[in-house]
Chain A
């Protein structure tokens, strides 16, 4: 476990030098690095298969379509959906959430209610606010406690027969909290509400079985799973997707178009208007293969060990306060040091080759709750090492000496 040089070798960028130091990449919650296989596959697609999909009768179009659809099958297996056509390709988590909010939103009426939480990424807040503005539905918010956990008592109180949609993150990108989504889904279904889970921070870190969860929608981004940017997944239950109106109109999503009336294609194409990021989707398969080869159980074990070691070491630094202290956390640590602005810390760590994230992490309500302008955030991936944590701790101490 401690020597993972084989794994690190799979990610060429990890050998970078930054400001005369070996790179330590601790900004994996923002995006993960890409494996050699993913990068090679992007190139291979453009060299050997490039053409548009689902349209041509010619050889290349067939080959490209097959490759594209192969990824859909991989995703199906990866999250264990019942049908392959329940996997919709989007641009990313944000796009997936907007699709649901906009399409399902059109079926909402005034006085319907949508529940989100105080720890959501702006991507899982703003689309619902827009949806409420258009439909007249009301947005209800589950607050978080001082450890950064959802207040499940209030969640229960908010649920009622008017609740139509519950949209909650699986793992908080600023606090690291893993939410009890199974319970959330069960309680919501008892009230006939549909549940969308924002899986942006979970799909690469915990294993997901959408059938076992019985979740209605699950969203994630390929770029946070060692895959390419510009590719996302929306999983939706067949029955619900079939009831939903299309999101965007265009090519690919139609069955027949006349100038006055159009009939729509069946799933998944109904929700995939226009030419998608074909090469990205094709290469995404390589990152799913990688995750399956590593095994999510092994990944989680390693990242949990990194989390507990880093937490222990960070706590030794005087004046350091961890924001998000749930018992049930993923490999994300947000913190502040008394008297030091997170931006200053980030700038100095960068000089020492250490990439962390600073700011509000697109979760301003969380920052408001803790009454802070932002945090410094470390987030792990499978390729990170204990050694890197040691270097980071040393760098934080050095930065502290300089800044205080």
Chain B
């Protein structure tokens, strides 16, 4: 049985509570970004690119056993680190749960500013797109 979105969020919040300074937190994000599997160049198509003014994001999704698996990549490592966290929360979940996810943990781990639309790093649009995928899959099911 998979962990629920809520359970994973709580786990991440606990992990981030260990950091008492921004440097450690950012280094952790950078490590997460580096260890996120890359999307191959051939899969980085016009259809799955999200162009932010600052960094670009590529997002793919597929369905397996009524759950959605997300793959994403970015040219900026900080953006990738946050993508890794979002994938950990939203991948292998049911479409309905993805659509309803509020993702409030982002604020609790102190990364809200990274998800501000003014950052123009593509992350806000990425979350929107993940939910749109989920909506599409749900309608098919």
Contact = CB atoms under 8 A, between A and B. Distances in A.
A255 B77 CA distance: 60
A18 B130 CA distance: 33
A402 B26 contact: yes
Contact of A348 (B26, B55, B75, B79): B26
A350 to B, nearest CB: 9
Interface stretch (A167-175, A269-277, A339-347): A339-347
Interface string B33-67: 00000000000000000000111100000000000
Contact of A341 (B23, B26, B55, B114): B55
Classify the secondary structure of B's interface with A.
helix
Given A341-B55, A374-B54, A403 B75 contact: no
Contacts of B8: none
Interface in B52-99: 53-56, 75-79
B51 to A, nearest CB: 10
B75 A341 contact: yes
A202 interface: no
A71 B114 CA distance: 42
Contacts of A359: 53-54
A362 to B, nearest CB: 10
B30 A402 contact: yes
B17 to A, nearest CB: 19
Interface residues of A, number: 17
A373 interface: yes
B124 to A, nearest CB: 15
A359 B75 CA distance: 13
B22 A344 contact: no
A343 B79 contact: yes
A372 to B, nearest CB: 11
A19 interface: yes
Contact of A347 (B27, B53, B75, B78): B78
Interface residues of B, number: 16
Contacts of A342: 54
A341 B76 contact: yes
Contacts of B54: 342-343, 346, 358-359, 374
A53 to B, nearest CB: 35
A352 to B, nearest CB: 9
B109 to A, nearest CB: 15
Contacts of A360: 53
A346 B52 CA distance: 15
A182 B117 CA distance: 43
A351 interface: yes
A402 B76 CA distance: 13
Nearest to A340: B77
A344 B78 contact: yes
A351 B79 contact: no
Contacts of A402: 23, 26-27, 30
A266 B77 CA distance: 57
Nearest to A360: B53
Contacts of B55: 341, 343
A343 B78 contact: yes
A80 B30 CA distance: 53
A360 B121 CA distance: 13
Nearest to B22: A351
Nearest to B33: A344
Interface in B105-132: 114, 121
A373 B51 CA distance: 11
A373 B75 contact: yes
Given A341-B75, A343-B76, A359-B53, A403 B30 contact: yes
A373 B75 CA distance: 10
A235 to B, nearest CB: 32
A351 B76 contact: no
A373 B30 contact: no
A351 B26 contact: yes
Contacts of B121: 343
Nearest to B51: A373
A269 B55 CA distance: 44
A351 B23 CA distance: 9
Contacts of A374: 54
Given A346-B54, A347-B114, 5 more contacts: A340-B77, A343-B121, A351-B22, A360-B53, A374-B54
9 contacts: A19-B22, A340-B77, A341-B77, A342-B54, A343-B76, A343-B79, A360-B53, A374-B54, A403-B30
